[in-house]
Amino acid sequence: MQPSSSHLSTHASLWGIFAALLTMLAVFSTGCLHSSSSKKLGDGHDFGENDREVVLVLGDSISAGGFSGAAPWPTRFANMVDKAVINDSVPGATASVGAARVQRGLNSHNPGFLIIFYGANDAIQGVNISATENAIRSMVAAAKANQTIPVLATVMPMEGGRRIYNGRVDQVNERIRSIASQERVKLVNLHRTFRGKEDQYFVDGLHPNDLGEELIALKFLDAFK
């Protein structure tokens, strides 16, 4: 007996559904494979004579540590990222101090990566915003010329008596975000992370406490994944 047209139609519908399910499964599997093999920061980059397992941190007292009574975030970050992290931060430094020191750091350590974390003191001291921008741009340019990958961070919001500087912090961060976009540099947006949570993560409205140090380290870790 020949199958009826209705039976044929039913089989065709079932096969259509089955084929659609197979397609969805293939897409899902491909997506999983793609996400598991996603490139990490630095993959495919020509580091030249630099060591891709070395990270140089240039910053101010927020990076230098010593205010929370616990390990500073660069030390924690080193344990998380499994790289040698050299913390060459100077308390009280503005971005211009970093610009003056960056080449020496690059020449001395040959880092594969350079974390540039300035701007808080620029905001507090009322440094000309263009001068801050130019200093940060010069550090990014020096890193790129050295075949080192630069990583930028925004300035965290301030609390307590230092809250009066947050207007300048916003101006500095606007320039930092612009540099990161124009130069195609990885940006760790700590301002967004800490905004509205200053009372939980700071010792004195500026420097992170133990929880704050840990959170900063985790955010930099995310940038290197």
- The DSSP bridge pattern shows strands 149-153 and 84-87 to be unpaired
Token pair 């500087």: residue: 165
Please give the Cα distance from 62 to 64 (Å, whole number): 6
How far are the Cα atoms of 127, 133, 210 from residue 66, in angstroms, in the given order? 25, 27, 11
Q: Domain 51-224: give its CATH superfamily.
A: SGNH hydrolase (3.40.50.1110)
pTM for this model (two decimals): 0.83
pLDDT of amino acid 130 = 98
Please give the Cα distance from 115 to 118 (Å, whole number).
10
Please give the pLDDT value at position 85.
98
Which pLDDT value is given to residue 198?
A: 72
Give CA–CA dist 64/121, Å, rounded: 13
Over the chain (225 residues), the average pLDDT of each successive run of 10 is 48 47 42 52 96 98 93 97 97 98 98 98 98 98 98 96 97 98 98 89 95 97 95
Greatest CA separation for the chain: 93
